[in-house]
Structure 1
Amino acid sequence: MNFKWDKKYLYWGVTAFLVIAAAIVFFLGLSQIKEILDSVFSFLSILTPVLYGFVIAYILCPIATFIEKPCLRRLFYTIQDKKREKFEREHPGEEPPPKTFPVRKVARVMSVAITMILALLILTGIIWVLLPQLIDTITMLVNNMPTYVTQVSDWVSQTLRNYPEVEAYVLQFTGGISDMLNNWLSTELLPQMNNIWNLISSNVMNIISVFMNLLLGFVIAIYFLNSKELFAAQFKKILYCLFKPKVATKIINSTREVNKSFGQFITGKILDSFIIGMVYVLLMSIFNMPYAVLCGVVMGIFCIIPYFGPFIGFIPCMLLLVLVDPIQCIYFTIMVVIIQNIDGNVLAPKIIGDSTGLSSFWVIFGMLVGQGLFGFVGLIIGIPLFAVVYSFTKNRVKKRLEKKDLPSDSNVYRDIDHIDDETNEPVYFPHPPYMKKEKEKHEFKDIKKIFVKNKNSDSKNTDDKKQK
């Protein structure tokens, strides 16, 4: 008896087997999801230095590029041109020697070295200069809290002595705030600061591990910065090896869009916030305002958050200065208004530009979603990530509408009631009577303007003829 294979039934059997096997694997994966995630995180922890290096290189890349191309390359090429001109003056008619100095290679190495030295100096300054000052400032604030409360109470009593009811309410309000701050500082913050060394000593190995990962991250970042074109070329080569040219080109273009939206926003925002923080520290030190370093650091950190960040950072700084000197708090408020206006209208557009292309509503929406998913970090990365999603969705919708021969501009759909199924043409809303009257009124005004203009031109021509 000869047995004949039926390809159709064989195909169905293999398909059913694969579906059942995939369902079993999926079920086992869900039941062991914790172990799988632990294994994935354990593997990713091995790549932590590489991740640190990529992030460091990504943040420092614009600085290294600026030092390399507009600065060092231009300087080296200028020196070469001057040497060439000098040789031609001293040896007329002779061929100058060939250029053997590797401008690009030397400029790349020097730019990476300068960038890494600057980054390490800034990081060292933050750790060894700002951190002790912050600890001393907070300690002094806790110790002098009763004095500050007395000063504020005296100032309120002197200012509102003609309004006893308002004075009593304000004193009660400030007293409650001072008690709350004093309780938080003395029972929560200060004990934690006193236990810093205990925490450090009990987590020595973890701290050494983090330090080593950061150190290796800086070393890996040097390789990323020095060979960024090579890594980009290898990435393209792998994409064109794995995918069709059309798909690979789409992935490359999408990656460029992500880099443009995400990279420009993040790096620009960090640089802008660093400049703003230093400006606050400098100006507050010049005007002898208390807690200049603490307020500058707080304002610089919260300025990373778009829109609401400066206002969030302003609140603790304002409360701190009110306790010390209410007049200085008024000056600080004026300073914040001036600096944030300059930052929003001049500095930030120059550094960041319109990198996201989102309206204010979508910016707030992206911040809320990012904060809900990633916490404080989501307030920063939520906007560029949502900008990428928004851009992809917008392009996809535009292409699908163009395939259907429909308009892709959102403004066109304001007056559209529906799209006709048969003709594929938009059907617009009928204008209400008041809109018709307004339209007729405007048309009448336009006709009147044209009539008056023609009348004036005719009278002018008549006057010219009379003069002739």
Structure 2
Amino acid sequence: LRTINADPGNISQVLESLFSWVISGSANDIIGNVYSVLTNTFSLLFSTLISIMFAVIVLFNKQTVVKEGFYLMRAYLSKKRYAKTVHILSLIRNTFTSYIGGTCTECIILATLVMFFASLFQIPFAFLAGILVGIGALIPMFGALAAAIIAALLIAVDTPIEGLYFIILFICIQQVEGNFIYPNVVGKSVGIPPIYVMIAVTLGANVAGILGMVFFIPIFSCLYQLIKEDASKRIEIKDKKEGLLNE
């Protein structure tokens, strides 16, 4: 009513102004925006549902898919390329399995520690805070801290001083977790220096957002190990050639 400048007490004026507003095309923008939002939402839900169904089907038939994949590689690749491809696929499988398993384990440990100590110090919403921190820890580097800040704000709504206490408690827990738990649970599965982890997280965030931050670390780990193996072989070949030349 404010948009069409109509007097709510005069029904005829309201109807006339509303009809003029629709005729002028102003309603098309609203209808178009609503249609676009609904279309995008249903498209996203449909794509997600199809992806989950396809993933479940592949999971139940993984032995057949893997067997036929290796069969085709043996048929169309040379023996040397086949061995190299199998090695790369095994490296990718082991790296991703170790990284995802280690990350999930670390998230559960961190969530349990937050729940336990928050409950021990009688901080409200201890269970909710632990769940938030555990989910946030799936995102490398800053995910757990961001989740802890959100949890602290929720706690501060009830008791402001308790929100501050929770942040202090989380910092203490994260120091122990980062120095003792994370290197043993996740660090060994990654196998790359910390500087490369930061590069992987930065590139992943720019390329694919949160999913990129999560999955670029094992991708970088695979590339790092493959380049390291190739460099070692090249150095070994050069050393042999130099040794033959010296002889």
Aligned to 2:134: 300
Q: 2:173 aligns with which of 338, 341, 345?
A: 338
Describe the SS at the equivalent of 2:189: coil
| CA-to-aligned-CA distance 1:302-336 (integer Å, 9 cap, x gap) | 31233443334444444665573224522552255
> CA 1:208–1:368 in structure 2 vs 1: closer, same or farther (change >3 Å)?
closer
Aligned to 2:96: 262
1:224 corresponds to 2:58: yes
Aligned to 1:203: 37
TM-score by length of 1: 0.38
Please show how residues 382-401 of structure 1 align to structure 2 within 5 Å: 382-401=216-235
CA distance in 1, matches of 2:47, 2:116: 33
Aligned to 2:30: none
The one-letter code matched in structure 2 to 1:337 is: C
Aligned to 2:79: 245
Structure 1: give runs of 5+ residues left out of the alignment: 1-198, 407-418, 425-468
Aligned-pair RMSD on alpha carbons? 3.6
> CA 1:238–1:267 in structure 2 vs 1: closer, same or farther (change >3 Å)?
same
Kept after mapping to 1: 8 A contact 2:110/2:177:
no
Structure 2: give runs of 5+ residues left out of the alignment: 1-32
CA distance in 2, matches of 1:264, 1:339: 22
Kept after mapping to 2: 8 A contact 1:366/1:386:
yes
Q: After TM superposition, give the deviation of residue 395 of structure 1 in Å.
A: 1.0
> CA 1:353–1:386 in structure 2 vs 1: closer, same or farther (change >3 Å)?
closer
> CA 1:339–1:373 in structure 2 vs 1: closer, same or farther (change >3 Å)?
closer
Q: 1:349 aligns with which of 168, 184, 188?
A: 184
Describe the SS at the equivalent of 1:203: helix
Kept after mapping to 1: 8 A contact 2:192/2:221:
yes
Kept after mapping to 1: 8 A contact 2:102/2:189:
no
Aligned to 2:212: 378
Sequence identity percentage: 22
1:403 corresponds to 2:247: no
Please show how residues 35-434 of structure 1 align to structure 2 within 5 Å: 203-273=37-107, 276-277=110-111, 280=114, 284=118, 288-292=122-126, 295-318=129-152, 321=155, 324-338=159-173, 341-342=176-177, 345-346=180-181, 349-350=184-185, 352=186, 354-405=188-239, 423=246
Q: After TM superposition, give the deviation of residue 247 of structure 1 in Å.
A: 0.4
Q: After TM superposition, give the deviation of residue 253 of structure 1 in Å.
A: 0.7
> CA 1:229–1:294 in structure 2 vs 1: closer, same or farther (change >3 Å)?
same
TM-score by length of 2: 0.67
The one-letter code matched in structure 1 to 2:84 is: K
Q: State how many pairs are aligned.
A: 212
Kept after mapping to 2: 8 A contact 1:298/1:313:
yes
- In terms of Rg, which structure is larger? 1
Kept after mapping to 2: 8 A contact 1:272/1:348:
no
Kept after mapping to 2: 8 A contact 1:306/1:380:
yes
CA distance in 2, matches of 1:206, 1:281: 38
Describe the SS at the equivalent of 1:252: helix
> CA 1:261–1:336 in structure 2 vs 1: closer, same or farther (change >3 Å)?
same
